[in-house]
Amino acid sequence: MSLPYLFTLSREQDDGETYYKINYPDLRGLTIYNDTISAVMAERDDAREAWLRANLKAHEVIPLPRQLTK
């Protein structure tokens, strides 16, 4: 559960509202949204763990984290 999966953090705007989004490219479908950076970062670990548990329970293949290259 503690493998180092890469994520992207972005600031988004929609209909005048600003929010923050975390996306895990290796974990298909795992995207987290919240109103502040601190809130979205606080949700990050719990959301990743819930995604991993749900996919393991469904017998889905869990990809290993990508390795950064120089």
The DSSP element (H or E) to which 64 belongs, if any, is none
pTM: 0.84
Alpha-carbon gap, residue 20 to 42, rounded angstroms: 12
SS3 25: coil
In terms of DSSP bridges, do strands 8-14 and 17-23 run parallel, antiparallel, or are they unpaired?
antiparallel
Alpha-carbon gap, residue 20 to 32, rounded angstroms: 8
Mean pLDDT of 48-60: 96
Summarize pLDDT for 3-46 with one digit per residue, the tens: 889 999 999 999 999 999 999 999 999 999 999 999 999 999 99
pLDDT of residue 2: 76
